[in-house]
Amino acid sequence: MIKTRNTLSAAIRTQSAKVLNTHLAAAIDLHAQLKQAHWNVRGPGFFAVHELFDTVSTQVEDYSDLIAERAGQLGDTAHGTIQVAVEKSGLVPYPLGIADEHSHIFAVAGALAAFGEMVREAIDTTAEFGDATTADLFTEISRGIDKQLWFVESHAAPKG
């Protein structure tokens, strides 16, 4: 930990930084999965879905920045390399070789939902050990991920 005047105890800052770095890895992975979908989607709704995935990927990239910057605010280092993301993400690997928009919508929605679940767990975890600010950051991200999931799922045909 880097010396800081942040008034949270070193123990809380260390715990929060660990949670943040785990979620940074997942956010980096999620961003890459969204770009994979953006680059490879095909179908009658191509343009709308292609643009949607690009918009969602930009939002997720912004979440990566928020997470990494919070780790720095706590006096820790953001672990944001691809190598760390591969090792620590926790997300299911994105399926390669798919092209049709429905398969990509399904895969992207699953990745967003899984990341959203991880973020909701982080809200509870960081609140439990006394870091309300980091819990609030994860709450902001949770709201955003739920909104992006809604946008993606709205491109799928409704089922009864």
Per residue in 68-123, pLDDT (tens digit) is 999 999 999 999 999 999 999 999 999 999 999 999 999 999 999 999 999 999 99
d(CA 69, CA 133): 13
Report the pLDDT averaged over residues 143-153. 98
- Topology at the third CATH level for domain 10-153: Ferritin (1.20.1260)
Residue 157 tokens read as: 């045909």
**Locus of tokens 């920045």:** 65
Q: For the chain, state the CA radius of gyration.
A: 17
For 89-104, give one letter per residue: b (16+ CB within 10 A) or e.
Answer: bebeebeeebeebebb
Does the structure show a pLDDT above 80 at 158? no
